[in-house]
Amino acid sequence: MSTKPFDPKKDGAETDFTSRMSYGDYLQLDKILTAQAPHSVAHDEMLFIIQHQTSELWMKLAIHELSAATRAIASDDLQPAFKMLARVARIMEQLNSAWDVLRTMTPSEYTLFRESLGQSSGLQSFQYRAIEFLAGNKNAAMLAPHGHKRDIHDWLDGIRRKPSLYDEAIRILDRRGFAIDRAVLDRDVAEPYQAQASVKAAWAVIYRDPAHHWELYELAEKLVDFEDYFRRWRFNHVTTVERVIGFKRGTGGTSGVAYLRRMLEVVLFPELWDVRTEL
């Protein structure tokens, strides 16, 4: 075995980047790695900041994929949509794993910097709200925390007023010959979706004969996968918050764990879950 140190230049690697784009340049690491600015001297505030910043990066990718998947379904191009939705499920898995790191922080450690957060709270994550709106959980009241930034408010409201991922899934059922009630197809897509019997009946036909409706069957399962991982993310959020702050009110003024538990009851694609009881 050679005992000489490895020299990347002799191996053909580029080492002079005075006039070339480097790895750090491409990723703009100077911006990313200087974006952590703790407001206290507490050791664990760095963990808290990085966990939330990396989660926001993953959410940006989820928005990118969900938006593209929605457009693909609207264009009857289901195969690319399946790939995008599968990726979103894996992104949610990454977001779930992030809670495991944050749970290494104890209540004693969190209290050392909690006051430094002021009124900032995850409730104010506009990217999380975009994911909810894209998936179909639309609530105009949730735009209020973003009123101070008109560009973000208007961007979110634009998503709210467009057909959601599930709206487009229902529309493709209609285009593929299923009898979907006109009230569903013509509804105001800016309003929260309510389960409807004709949509449930269509999914029931598909699940009873998947071989005959394979593309739509696969679409249904991709949607269920996404919501399954999303539910786990919400659940892990609740348990992490309860583990770290108990039942204190949230920094943003919500009831904390009680509020998060209510969010566990939200169902994005109701008929896809209801139909399982009938099969």
Contact 111, 251 (CB under 8 A): no
Q: Is the pLDDT of residue 109 over 70?
A: yes
Contact 138, 71 (CB under 8 A): no
pLDDT tens sequence across 196-211: 999 999 999 999 999 9
Q: Is the pLDDT of residue 11 over 60?
A: yes
pLDDT tens sequence across 229-274: 999 998 888 888 888 877 666 666 666 677 678 777 889 999 999 9
pLDDT tens sequence across 77-102: 999 999 999 999 999 999 999 999 99
pLDDT band at 141 (very low <50, low <70, confident <90, very high): very high
Residue closest to 237 by CA, chosen among 261, 208, 270: 261
Q: Is the pLDDT of residue 1 over 80?
A: no
Percent of the chain topping pLDDT 70? 95
Residue 113 is classified by DSSP as: T
> Domains along the chain?
41-245+254-278 (1.20.58.480)
Q: How high is the pLDDT of residue 264?
A: 75
Residue-averaged pLDDT of the chain: 92
Q: Is the pLDDT of residue 217 over 90?
A: yes
Query: What is the 3-class SS of 56-106, one letter each residue?
Result: HHHHHHHHHHHHHHHHHHHCCCHHHHHHHHHHHHHHHHHHHHHHHHHCCCC
Quote the CA–CA distance of 255 and 162 in Å, as a whole number.
31
